[in-house]
Amino acid sequence: MKQLFFHGDENFWFETLRSLGHIAYGGADLGEVLLTADRIKAGDYDSWYDEWFATAERVWNVAAEAHAAGHPISARDSYLRASNYYRTAEFFLHGNPDDPRILAAYDKSITSYRHFVDLSGPSIEYVEIPFEGTTLPGYFYPSQLPSPQPLIVMHNGFDGTAEEMRFFGALAAQERGYNVLCFDGPGQPGTRHHKGLLFRPDWENVVSPVIDYVSDRPEVDTDKISLLGVSLGGELCLRAAAFEPRLKAVMAVDGVYDLGAVTMKFIEGSRDDVEKAVTADAAPEIDANIEKAMQSSPTARWAFAHGQFVMGGTTPREYAAQTLAYHLRDGIAEKISCAVLVCEAADDLFFEGQPEQVYNALTTSDKTLMRFTEEEGADAHCHLGGQRYAFGRIFDWLDVRTPVTSEDPQ
């Protein structure tokens, strides 16, 4: 998709497109996004925070005034948009974990979303999922059809929230009659910001307790459970599916085969040499190499800074070493036996070529590679800009595998 703002900074543009894409399911309004982007100084992370936070505050005030005046629908819709704008505001701040603006914006984002939930009636419910001595925050979107109905478990990826999953498939699925459970796992905002949990590669040990929790709900048809993961979640969900037999289908939006390969492309040298260097006790040349990449590439700067925040490591190199554990090699992809949908974006900023790697590694008898193109307006990573179209195709695929039971059997 043609870059309309922030020429020379693909990250600023992608995050702007992200909010533009969320218009489709109520997460933003066109004028609010365009005017905010127009005020931001390209490449200036303080400017990014200031302008998005200002927009979020303005929309929050609109919501609060509407709420106080007895206009719950107006308040609900504005709280939802404010939540997304607060999330966007703190997106680039994670290079300094102690920056007070991170929690100021994140907490306001969650409060906004919880107000949205409170004003939405029975169509959404906040849940706390028991997990290894703590809880994972999430949201249950019940089907509006008679129970039981199929369930889709959903999670975000490297940098997104459970709240954002409303725009990344939850509402689209609920509209079609599915039950949906969205959650934040370790390393994702709902557990990282206040609980300090970091990402872990054995995602099956995250997904299985979530399925345990939701399977007791009478609304859920436990013979029709599927899993959807977004962005890095496209590797995590497939990893979970390799070890979780209760899944009938898994959807990777988009397919990710090897996170380490993405990290390694910013570091000069062969893959074998770089892997040895990043896992060594000391590698000053690689440290300098990574620093050079972070200075010259906005994408590298953000990826390494945010990566340390959510995966750990005292240096960017130590974070790079962490990424090597996130892959579907060594027979993992071949263990998946359920139906698999692998989505691919023609102009993927982060994981170009990896969906096809996933697809080729799969041995399940039911696998699909679904490509999205510029002509469709859905060629960006995770199909931002074409979300109604993309999720229409995705859930049409799922309908064949875990069909919703019609309210009228005739």
Catalytic residues: 231
Handedness of CA 324, 203, 381, 88 (dihedral sign): negative
Q: Are 189 and 106 in contact (CB under 8 A)?
A: yes
Report how far residue 165's alpha carbon sits from residue 369's, in angstroms, rounded to the nearest whole number. Answer: 22
SS3 content of the chain, % helix, strand, coil (to 5): 50, 15, 35
- HSE value, Cβ hemisphere, 13 Å, CA-based, for 281: 0
DSSP one-letter string for 215-275 = HTSTTEEEEEEEEEEETTHHHHHHHHHTT-TTEEEEEEES--SBHHHHHHTTS-S-HHHHH
Q: Are 385 and 9 in contact (CB under 8 A)?
A: no
Q: Which of 380, 373, 389, 385 is nearest to 172 (CA)?
A: 389
Q: Are 105 and 53 in contact (CB under 8 A)?
A: yes
Measuring CA to CA, how many Å separate 304 from each of 30, 139, 186, 229? Answer: 31, 30, 18, 22
Task: Indicate the SS3 state at residue 128.
Answer: strand
Q: Which of 215, 208, 269 is nearest to 244 (CA)?
A: 208
Q: Are 248 and 228 in contact (CB under 8 A)?
A: no
- The token duo for 66 is 């509407």
Find the length of the chain.
410
DSSP run (H or E) holding 131:
strand 125-131
Task: Indicate the SS3 state at residue 383.
Answer: helix
DSSP run (H or E) holding 343:
strand 339-345
